Structure 1
Amino acid sequence: MKNGKLLLTLILAVVLSGSALNLMPKADAHNVITELPLEDSFGGVPGTMVLKNLKTDKQYVYNGERSRERFTPESSFKVPNALIGLEEKAVADEYEVKRWDGVVREFEAWNRDHTLASGMRHSVIWYYQAMARDIGAERMQRNLDRIGYGNRDISGGIDRFWLNSSLKISAQEQEAFVEKLVEEELPFQEQTMKTVKRILIDEEKDAYTLHGKTGTRLSDMGLGWYVGYVETEKATWVFATNIDGSGSKARQLTKEALLKLGIIPE
């Protein structure tokens, strides 16, 4: 068993170094998509992971077919929602407080006042729903069209379209969106993008900083997302993972993959 794990680690190291057999023509080296051998990590859980090294511009994918399939973003939509809210002045900054309405919800952390930043950290749906209503359908649609987010369909209602409803996006599209955020190439003010990147910090270590947002279909826990990026001394890696399960499970699988691939240390 130990020898098997060692062999897998060696194979992954070769793949990520770019020394593995290239299945695409050499002229297309920068567009190569390499299949990630993460079957053991996912343990039979249906899902996909898209991973891109922004330094080399190489992309790695587990389950390429699913990576192109669109699903509802659930709370991973808080990322574009925050960008649009800031850009459209629906909130002044990451510290703007919205008062709790007194309705007791399923998660204790939601039952208090929140800011844009704490609402992102605790995935407070009511905060971002209130902000979406303040943005309004016309401005929300215009911004989703500008950034080309998924199918851009908000017909499910201004405060619900991303929650098991009309808006859908693939892992490939999530990766492309986050990549543009990292590179600050989205059609938003520089300060808007810097603010959202800051409030997305999920974990800070000496060797890396992990920025990420989970998303879970709360009705049945049957869909989970974890999207974001990790900064290391060597490179920045953008990722988008979705599974048949919770967002916390998607986050766990993503971190395990980053560890196994040697992108972040133990």
Structure 2
Amino acid sequence: MLPSFGIHFIITNITISLLILAIILIKKGLKKHISIRVHYNIWFLFLIMLVIPLIPVKSTGLSHIGALLSYLDTANSQGNSPIIPEGVPTDTAAGVNWFRDLSVSVDRTSPSLFNTCLIVFWLTGCCIMLFFTIRSSLRIRKLIHSSLPVQNQRVKLLLRECKEKAEIKKDIPVLSSAFLKSPISIGIFHPKIILPIHLISDFNETEIRYILLHELQHYRHKDIPINYIMCFARIFYWYQPFVWYALKEMRNDRELACDTSVLYLLDEESYVDYGTTLIRFAGKVSCPSFPFATGLGGTKKQITKRIINITSFNPESGWLKVKSILIFAITCSIILVCTPILSINAAPDTTYGFSETNIDYEDLSSYFKQYNGSFVLYNLNSDNWTIYNESKSLKRISPDSTYKIYSALFGLENGTITPEASVLPWDKINYPYESWNKEQNLDSAIKNSVNWYFQALDQKTGKQALQKYINQINYGNENLSGGISRFWLESSLKISPVEQVELLTKFYQNDFHFKDSNIKAVKNALLISQSSGNVLYGKTGTGNIENNNVNGWFVGFIEKSGNTYFFATNIQGEDNTDGTNARNITLEILKAKQLYQTE
């Protein structure tokens, strides 16, 4: 099984490559219908596209895309090493029908190695790129410190005139340096223009005017901070040839856009002179040595392209502006549609946003002892919450076998099984629990927590239907990308204890608008005990990774004296952390609150 990071890494880069190709095709195919400035601005969408995988954005409608490689999950789903958990319930008191808390180990040795190697590979490249970027930044600082303010009064006068023409009020000093071949602009908060010292000594007023206008246009259009973003994109996507090509094209389009902005400030007779100035700097490139800077120079190929743009320049018409805006909007829509694919698992929703205010926070740490856990209780009649360990109660984690409540409900609602006909044949695989090695119905599968039954049920229900129901009831992060047989077993699907209680409340009141008979069938299967005037329903869950029980659940509700109380307990630890211990902690708390008694 590829880990979620590996799946996301592959899908993200395939998607980014395809979107870059789409942008290039749009720009080339509709070249005559897009203004030079919009040609450049379209690349801003490309930069946004690169940022999306690195920020928290909840994946929605297209989250199932992550399952494109989930068949790799299924290939290993039968090869896990089983483990007989300790602490199988032995309470046989009258009226008590305790579920067996059975679990199967999830072997993560190979995926962890793959995941680790992939992350180390990526981070190593990022560190190398960061090293060269920092070195370039230090060279820029050294260049600035070695540069001298221009004292030539004619240059200062030209700068003032050019600033007025470009409508720029900010003070932008001009420096000179003997270490440059072509002019550059540098600095986000304290921008400055640095000229090669020979330009000052040779002083050509026309040439310097064009240079200053060009560099001021870079400042006016915020090209310097954009340059920083482009540098960080190279760091994070150092391995991506499509990204490097797109960044090169973006730099070329930026210079074309800057030239066009300068031409709007000149009369037609000056176009040739401006082009001649560019030719003088052909092949003189300072920017690769200083990646945070923008400049006038470029390669001969780049300068040739810019000269062609200058000689064919015509002010854009109103119709060209309209077409450019429409094409930009279409390109933006394409990026927006692909946002869920890019953002899936980039930064998963690990914390649930809970907005209730009628909450009592209690210190129940004495019940949890060595476990790091949480307890959530909801009083239906008083509409009041009791929570222990708020941060843990909102943290989303794997539901493990507690998901089986909803697997059963989805199977019933989809017609895969019915309350009267819920038997599924044994798959003839020998499991470590004798109770698993026979055909099962809904009641026996719930009570013996039979994994193969619910895996088979989900397979029959189908991924598309499961995703529909998961989204309909808002089950946790709604992420089934871990594979249809494994997403609920310490994999992609996550849910918080608070959400468990909310869902149980909706289940109990049938706020899902499912068939009442289906709700009743699952509720009956969850029945644990009836004694002393209370009726207890619930389901345990255990997360077992590499033969260690690390995640324990007990969720359910108790009917007492005309009221219903919904609860969820979760415990985390390195081992011996299972549903049985979560159940025992829950019952101790419920007894202390006089909500549960045994005869």
What is the TM-score normalised by the length of structure 2? 0.39
Verify: 1:176 aligned to 2:499, yes or no: no
1:1-29 Cα deviation digits (max 9, x unpaired): xxxxxxxxxxxxxxxxxxxxxxxxxxxxx
Verify: 1:164 aligned to 2:486, yes or no: no
Structure-2 separation of matches of 1:189 and 1:92: 11
1:85-130 Cα deviation digits (max 9, x unpaired): 0000111226521121221112221111110111011100000000
* Matched residue, 2:568: 240
Amino acid at match of 2:586: T
Verify: 1:198 aligned to 2:506, yes or no: no
Structure-2 separation of matches of 1:107 and 1:38: 34
Residue correspondence of structure 1 range 201-220 to structure 2 within 5 A: 201-219=527-545, 220=548
Verify: 1:260 aligned to 2:592, yes or no: yes
Task: Verify the 8 A CA contact 2:553 2:570 in the aligned structure 1.
Answer: yes
Structure 2 gaps of 5+ residues are 1-355
Structure-1 separation of matches of 2:421 and 2:534: 25
More strand by share: 1
Amino acid at match of 2:508: V
Structure-2 separation of matches of 1:43 and 1:235: 30
Structure-2 separation of matches of 1:265 and 1:209: 10
* Matched residue, 1:250: 582
Structure-2 separation of matches of 1:75 and 1:253: 18
Task: Verify the 8 A CA contact 1:146 1:187 in the aligned structure 2.
Answer: no
More helix by share: 2
Structure-2 separation of matches of 1:231 and 1:238: 9
Identity across aligned pairs (percent)? 37
Amino acid at match of 1:247: G
Q: Alignment RMSD, CA only?
A: 1.3
Give 3-state SS (helix, strand or coil) of 1:141's partner: helix
Task: Verify the 8 A CA contact 2:552 2:581 in the aligned structure 1.
Answer: yes
Task: Verify the 8 A CA contact 2:531 2:597 in the aligned structure 1.
Answer: no
* Matched residue, 1:185: 511
Segment drifting more, 248-257 vs 33-42: 33-42
What is the TM-score normalised by the length of structure 1? 0.86
Q: CA shift at 1:187, angstroms?
A: 3.1
1:167-193 Cα deviation digits (max 9, x unpaired): 000001111000101112113111111
Structure-2 separation of matches of 1:216 and 1:265: 25
Q: How many residues align?
A: 237
1:48-95 Cα deviation digits (max 9, x unpaired): 010011010100001111000000100000011111000001112265
* Matched residue, 1:58: 384
* Matched residue, 1:4: none
Structure-2 separation of matches of 1:93 and 1:195: 6
Structure-1 separation of matches of 2:583 and 2:555: 8
Verify: 1:155 aligned to 2:487, yes or no: no
Segment drifting more, 76-85 vs 185-194: 185-194
* Matched residue, 2:455: 129
* Matched residue, 2:414: 88
- In structure 2, do the counterparts of structure 1 residues 192 and 42 end up closer, same or farther at CA, with 3 Å as the change threshold? same
Structure-1 separation of matches of 2:583 and 2:441: 23
Amino acid at match of 2:447: R
Q: CA shift at 1:206, angstroms?
A: 3.4
Q: CA shift at 1:202, angstroms?
A: 1.3
* Matched residue, 2:437: 111
Structure-2 separation of matches of 1:44 and 1:62: 15
Match of 1:47 among 346, 358, 373: 373
Structure-2 separation of matches of 1:259 and 1:84: 33
1:206-252 Cα deviation digits (max 9, x unpaired): 32111000110133210011111000115210001110210111111
Match of 1:37 among 363, 379, 394: 363
* Matched residue, 2:114: none
